[in-house]
């Protein structure tokens, strides 16, 4: 196939980057607001940057060691690809977050004049993240693909780099943000009775920093990993099934997806400009749908042109439909009727809302799993393993815009915080709150895509592992395979335990510190004296950095350890066990957390006694428990599953070379 095909990823990546630069200027040209607002925003920027730099230092030490091993034991090409993948992910997260922390005051400032302009700034801030992640992702992988001469193993190095960073960023950022959040809420809201984002709360800056390093940079690295992982696994399986055509096809799919996302982003900007003041969620949805429709048309044409039939188009359509359905189910369980019922149980106390919230999360695993099962079976029937992988790619192909809508949420959230801290007009806060709540709903599609693609990509990576290790069959009647699956199923539980314990421990130190400041700093409650914000930021930073290492190493080292004790076939069992149990645990934790969050919000909207009622107190406890569920452990499990698979794909063949 022509060089243009082979370079499609690189070309699309470059186009995406150019558009990103354009978007960045569009965000930065806005007014950053008054001095007070700039000061707050600066404090958030400084805290976030300091945390990320410390995080990256630790990360690069581990990445360096691993790269050395890869270079010596296997090939320097793979080692370079690995470092390159890690670096692209770091860049995407860092750049996206840098713009996000600048978009927040600009959103606040825009909200002074109108809802529409605030929406545009926040959305474009998120779009920078979305476009950065997808442009750098496909550019980097495309470059490795081209330079290595379509070498799947070298590409796997790039994918492993991306997964590596993702896990650290999600876990580290997740611990930071939730330690700060829990600390700020427990003492500030519950004990001292001051509102959210009140500047008298010593943990308030740490909390806002957390939103950026966890929800923005962490999520960016997370989706960078999903995006790269799905393209890589599809390309690897495509090469097996259809040689070069199959290897290139996923790149074409995402390249067109990138262009479609750009069109969608432009449409959102145009719609918001022309129709000042109408329903923001409609505009965001409209842009997303247009992008997906354009992508689908392109994919069907591509499918016919390259493979001579529409099968791969059907598979990608299926992936999108399943993604949207999973998103709707997620939204149903975390924002519709079950939430009203859940909020009602809070009138009987904290224990009932906790019990029922967990039941909701557990129940919510059922339909998504059946949908994933259906997508897998149909895709497999149509196109074999390649079909399963493509279905996952379909969900993420328009990531530029779906992630824009995801990342827009924390920006709006932060903008609200700045409005509160800068004592702006309550009307401004109302506008940013509306934007924030819209973000929570529109993010459902993104969540559905993330859950669905994680499962499908994990399946595809499992198939790749079997292929690279030359295993004939992974037979569950072989007791080492079954034992492997049992151990594999345990790992997401152990991993979650570490992550939650880390949040619990760090939050505990934070609580003590915030209590101490309230007690020891004179005039703090009266607003006469400023709290020591940095101390809280530093507690969250130290806690996160120290405690992100153990769970992350668990993911990297377990497959290697199992290989030495039980062999390569047992490793396949481990991967299967981790996948099946991990998918459930991730959905359960994310949705229970989401349900508690929204039940609290529902009560705060003057239901069952509203703010300050007994039901509200109970719901705040639920929400706090849900924090590490939905923002630390839950999303990190999806990465855990894929990182373990990719580590196995990269490392086990090397070990086999040496030891078998």
Using CB under 8 A, which residues numbered 438 to 467 contact its own copies?
A: 455, 459, 462-463, 466
Q: Which is nearer to its own copies, 185 or 420 (CB)?
A: 185
Q: How many residues bind its own copies (CB under 8 A)?
A: 78
Closest alpha carbon to 103 in 571, 462, 485, 418:
418
- DSSP letter for each residue of 486-535: HHHHHHHHHHHHHHHHHHHHHHHHHHHHHHHHHHHSTTTTTTSS---HHH
User: 146-155 burial, b if ≥16 CB within 10 A, otherwise e?
Assistant: bebebbbbbb
Dig out the tokens for 304 from the structure. Answer: 């016919």
Choices 21-29, 95-103, 342-350, 643-651; region in contact with its own copies by CB under 8 A:
342-350
Residue from 573, 593, 594, 634 in contact with its own copies (CB under 8 A): 573
Closest alpha carbon to 105 in 37, 45, 199:
37
Residue from 418, 576, 586, 655 in contact with its own copies (CB under 8 A): 576
- CA distances to 34, 137, 163, 625 from 17, rounded to whole Å, are 31, 11, 22, 39
Residues 7-36, interacting with its own copies (CB under 8 A): none
Closest alpha carbon to 208 in 132, 104, 111:
104
Q: How far is the CB of 547 from its own copies (least distance, A)?
A: 12
* Interatomic CA distance for residues 392 and 341, integer angstroms: 34
Q: Which is nearer to its own copies, 75 or 475 (CB)?
A: 475
Choices 89-97, 516-524, 528-536, 578-586; region in contact with its own copies by CB under 8 A:
578-586
Q: Is 603 in the site for its own copies (CB under 8 A)?
A: no
Block residue for tokens 């290492």: 549
- DSSP letter for each residue of 398-410: THHHHHHHHHHHH
Q: Is 583 in the site for its own copies (CB under 8 A)?
A: yes
Residue from 32, 71, 349, 653 in contact with its own copies (CB under 8 A): 349
Q: Which is nearer to its own copies, 233 or 402 (CB)?
A: 233
* Interatomic CA distance for residues 555 and 574, integer angstroms: 11
Q: Which is nearer to its own copies, 257 or 573 (CB)?
A: 573
* Interatomic CA distance for residues 73 and 76, integer angstroms: 9
Choices 37-45, 140-148, 437-445, 469-477; region in contact with its own copies by CB under 8 A:
469-477
* Strand, helix or coil for residue 613: coil
Block residue for tokens 């702006």: 424
User: 626-644 burial, b if ≥16 CB within 10 A, otherwise e?
Assistant: bbbbbbbbbbbbbbbbbbb
**Main-chain dihedrals φ then ψ at residue 524, nearest 5 degrees:** -65, -45
* Interatomic CA distance for residues 349 and 616, integer angstroms: 9
Neighbours of 337 (CB within 10 A): 9
Q: Which is nearer to its own copies, 294 or 583 (CB)?
A: 583
Q: Is 386 in the site for its own copies (CB under 8 A)?
A: no
Q: Which is nearer to its own copies, 236 or 422 (CB)?
A: 236
Q: How far is the CB of 96 from its own copies (least distance, A)?
A: 29
Q: Is 355 in the site for its own copies (CB under 8 A)?
A: yes
Residue from 278, 351, 553, 605 in contact with its own copies (CB under 8 A): 351
* Interatomic CA distance for residues 478 and 602, integer angstroms: 51
Q: Is 196 in the site for its own copies (CB under 8 A)?
A: no
Q: Is 186 in the site for its own copies (CB under 8 A)?
A: yes
Q: Is 337 in the site for its own copies (CB under 8 A)?
A: no
Site mask, its own copies, residues 276-315, x = CB under 8 A?
A: ----------------------------------------
Q: Is 577 in the site for its own copies (CB under 8 A)?
A: yes
Q: Is 567 in the site for its own copies (CB under 8 A)?
A: no
Q: How far is the CB of 311 from its own copies (least distance, A)?
A: 16
Choices 160-168, 210-218, 294-302, 368-376; region in contact with its own copies by CB under 8 A:
368-376
Residue from 118, 162, 350, 383 in contact with its own copies (CB under 8 A): 350
Q: How far is the CB of 458 from its own copies (least distance, A)?
A: 10
Residues 58-117, interacting with its own copies (CB under 8 A): none
Cα-Cα end-to-end distance for the chain: 37
Q: Which is nearer to its own copies, 84 or 462 (CB)?
A: 462
Q: What is the CA radius of gyration of the chain?
A: 23
Q: How far is the CB of 179 from its own copies (least distance, A)?
A: 11
Q: Is 356 in the site for its own copies (CB under 8 A)?
A: yes
Task: Enumerate the H helices of 605-613 as residue ranges.
Answer: none
Instruction: Yes or no: say if 227 and 446 are a contact pair by the CB < 8 Å rule.
Output: no
Residue from 42, 72, 113, 190 in contact with its own copies (CB under 8 A): 190
Site mask, its own copies, residues 470-509, x = CB under 8 A?
A: ---xxxxx-xxxxx-xxxxxx--xx-xxx-xx-xx--xx-
Closest alpha carbon to 109 in 216, 27, 212:
27
Q: Which is nearer to its own copies, 401 or 458 (CB)?
A: 458
Block residue for tokens 């909701």: 360
Site mask, its own copies, residues 527-566, x = CB under 8 A?
A: ---------------------------------------x
Q: Which is nearer to its own copies, 44 or 382 (CB)?
A: 382
Instruction: Yes or no: say if 131 and 604 are a contact pair by the CB < 8 Å rule.
Output: no
């Amino acid at each position: 196939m022509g060089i243009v095909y082979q370079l499609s990823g690189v070309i699309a990546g470059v186009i995406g980057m150019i558009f990103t630069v354009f978007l960045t200027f569009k965000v930065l040209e806005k007014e950053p607001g008054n001095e007070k607002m700039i000061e707050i925003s600066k404090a958030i920027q400084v805290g976030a940057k300091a945390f990320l730099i410390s995080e990256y230092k630790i990360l690069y030490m581990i990445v360096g060691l691993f790269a050395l091993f890869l270079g010596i034991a296997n090939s320097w090409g793979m080692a370079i690809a690995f470092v390159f993948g890690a670096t692209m992910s770091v860049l995407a997260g860092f750049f996206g977050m840098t713009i996000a922390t600048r978009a927040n005051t600009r959103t606040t400032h825009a909200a002074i004049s109108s809802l529409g302009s605030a929406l545009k700034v926040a959305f474009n801030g998120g779009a920078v993240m979305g476009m950065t992640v997808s442009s750098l992702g496909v550019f980097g992988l495309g470059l490795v693909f081209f330079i290595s001469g379509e070498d799947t193993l070298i590409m796997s190095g790039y994918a492993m780099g991306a997964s590596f960073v993702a896990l650290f960023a999600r876990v580290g950022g997740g611990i930071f943000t939730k330690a700060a959040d829990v600390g700020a809420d427990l003492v500030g809201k519950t004990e001292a009775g001051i509102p959210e984002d009140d500047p008298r709360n010593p943990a308030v800056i740490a909390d806002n920093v957390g939103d950026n390093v966890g929800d923005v940079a962490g999520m960016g690295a997370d989706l960078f990993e999903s995006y790269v992982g799905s393209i890589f696994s599809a390309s690897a399986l495509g090469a097996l099934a259809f040689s070069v055509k199959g290897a290139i096809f996923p790149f074409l799919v995402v390249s067109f997806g990138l262009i479609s996302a750009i069109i969608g982003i432009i449409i959102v900007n145009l719609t918001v400009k022309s129709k000042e003041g109408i329903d923001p969620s409609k505009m965001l949805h409209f842009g997303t749908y247009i992008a997906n429709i354009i992508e689908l048309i392109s994919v069907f044409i591509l499918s016919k042109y390259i493979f001579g039939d529409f099968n791969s188009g059907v598979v990608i359509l299926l992936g999108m439909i399943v993604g949207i359905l999973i998103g709707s189910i997620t939204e149903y369980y975390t924002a519709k009727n079950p939430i009203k019922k859940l909020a009602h149980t809070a009138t009987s106390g904290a224990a009932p809302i906790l019990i029922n919230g967990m039941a909701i999360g557990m129940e919510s695993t059922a339909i998504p799993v059946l949908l994933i099962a259906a997508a897998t079976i149909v895709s497999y029937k149509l196109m074999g393993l390649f079909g399963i992988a493509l279905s996952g790619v379909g969900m993420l192909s328009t990531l530029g815009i779906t992630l824009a809508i995801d990342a827009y949420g924390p920006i709006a959230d932060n903008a609200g915080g700045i409005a509160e801290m800068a004592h702006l007009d309550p009307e401004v806060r109302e506008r940013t709150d509306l934007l924030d709540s819209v973000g929570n709903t529109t993010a459902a599609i993104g969540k559905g895509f993330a859950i669905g693609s994680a499962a499908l990509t994990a399946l595809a990576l499992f198939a790749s592992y079997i292929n690279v290790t030359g295993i004939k069959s992974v037979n569950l009647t072989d007791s080492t395979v079954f034992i492997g699956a049992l151990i594999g199923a345990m790992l997401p539980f152990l991993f979650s335990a570490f992550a939650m314990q880390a949040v619990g421990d760090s939050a505990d130190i934070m609580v003590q510190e915030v209590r101490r400041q309230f007690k020891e700093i004179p005039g703090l409650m009266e607003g006469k004296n400023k709290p020591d914000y940095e101390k809280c930021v530093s507690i969250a930073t130290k806690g996160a950095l120290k405690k992100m290492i153990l769970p992350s190493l668990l993911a990297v080292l377990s497959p290697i350890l199992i290989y030495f004790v039980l062999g390569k076939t047992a490793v396949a069992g481990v991967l299967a066990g981790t996948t099946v149990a991990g998918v459930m645990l991730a959905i359960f934790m994310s949705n229970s957390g989401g349900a508690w969050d929204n039940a609290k919000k529902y009560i705060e909207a003057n239901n069952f006694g509203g703010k300050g009622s007994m039901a509200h107190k109970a719901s705040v406890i639920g929400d706090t428990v849900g924090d590490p569920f939905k923002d630390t452990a839950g999303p990190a499990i999806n990465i855990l599953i894929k990182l373990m698979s990719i580590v196995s794909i990269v490392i086990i063949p090397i070990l086999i070379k040496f030891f078998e």
